[in-house]
Amino acid sequence: MKYAGNDNDLLPSWNDGPAKQAIVSFVARVTTPGGEDFVAEAERVAVFDNDGTLWPEQPLYVQYVFAFDRVAALLPEHPEWEEQEKFRAVLSKDLGRLATLTQRDILDVAAASHGGTTTEEFKQIVGDWLASARHPRFDRPYTECVYQPMLELLAYLRGRGFKTYIVSGGGIEFLRVWAEDIYGVPPEQVVGSSIVTAFEMREGEPLLLRRPEIDFVDDKAGKPVAINKFIGRRPIAAFGNSDGDLQMLQWVTAGEGARLGAIVRHTDGEREFAYDRASPVGRLDKALDEAEERGWTVVDMKRDWRRVFPFETE
């Protein structure tokens, strides 16, 4: 699918300004045959963080909400959870109490709530949950609460010969259920965190079982490691929004030739959320400092986005 049109027309939800200009000019540089910065299609790899970059992560990561709902659903089979503060905090859905949990607690809850099924069953569970869950503020399914400008950007890059990948701290098998429908990113282009999965023959039928144990956390220094492992090429463009994307941005933009590093900055409390250095969810601090030093593009949501969500009317 190649577009012949003017690049600016392909990003209608982006205001004219430095962010849009940086993106369009980068794409022109790497796609102009014979140009100094021309990059062959096979090497046009662009990676996107998901939470806070392609959809909101406030008031809580969407997958945390899924995990908490799973804990509630699984509670009858796990009465012992009622005795543990990490599960009690989760069941309370009290943000203040949740904020007291350690990273280890969160990983324990994630493992417990994401394991114990086959991979096929898990797909079904995620699909069913997405069909009924709604964003607490926008009161719509989460899959409708995605950033319209980023949908346009994904399609625009693919139209210019890029392969678009998601590289998320979220679960790889959680994302794959809906990333193709919503973002046009197929399963083999989704990289994420994982839990231990084991092959087992059960009555002659081969199954993949998800164990309640963390395998890999695709965040911070894990992101460039996972990109190298899954893709085997250094991308030429990376889009993130928090310090969890810092190492990915560093690694991608340190490669030779033209590179684009970009950070979505949450500056629009009216249409979305406004947060940065002090936020426990999606903290943007070091990466914002490095953006200036390293020449990364900062996408200021309030300034640069004409429209935030597909459901907004003009």
Q: Please identify, using beta-carbon distances, which residue of 24 and 166 lies nearer to a second copy.
A: 166
User: Taking the complex as a whole, how short is the minimal distance between the CB of residue 171 and a second copy, in angstroms?
Assistant: 11
Q: Please identify, using beta-carbon distances, which residue of 133 and 207 lies nearer to a second copy.
A: 207
Of 209, 178, 216, 221, nearest to 195 by C-alpha is 216
Torsion sign over Cα 259, 264, 267, 268:
positive
User: Taking the complex as a whole, how short is the minimal distance between the CB of residue 153 and a second copy, in angstroms?
Assistant: 21
Binding site for a second copy (CB under 8 A): 42, 119, 163, 172-173, 176, 186-188, 190, 194, 197-199, 201, 205-206, 208, 221-222, 224-225, 228-233, 247, 250-251, 254
Q: Please identify, using beta-carbon distances, which residue of 99 and 254 lies nearer to a second copy.
A: 254
User: Taking the complex as a whole, how short is the minimal distance between the CB of residue 231 and a second copy, in angstroms?
Assistant: 5
Distance CA 88, CA 85 (A): 5
User: Taking the complex as a whole, how short is the minimal distance between the CB of residue 128 and a second copy, in angstroms?
Assistant: 19
Cα 171–Cα 144–Cα 119 angle in degrees, nearest 5: 30
Q: Please identify, using beta-carbon distances, which residue of 51 and 290 lies nearer to a second copy.
A: 290
Distance CA 184, CA 159 (A): 12
SS (H, E, C) 139-185: CCCHHHCCCHHHHHHHHHHHHCCCEEEEEEEEEHHHHCCCHHHHHCC
User: Taking the complex as a whole, how short is the minimal distance between the CB of residue 287 and a second copy, in angstroms?
Assistant: 13
User: Taking the complex as a whole, how short is the minimal distance between the CB of residue 189 and a second copy, in angstroms?
Assistant: 8
At residue 275, φ and ψ (nearest 5 deg) are -165, 155
Q: Please identify, using beta-carbon distances, which residue of 2 and 9 lies nearer to a second copy.
A: 2
Helix (H) or strand (E) holding 111: helix 103-114
Terminal CA-to-CA distance of the chain, rounded, Å? 28
Q: Please identify, using beta-carbon distances, which residue of 133 and 231 lies nearer to a second copy.
A: 231
Torsion sign over Cα 254, 250, 183, 115:
positive
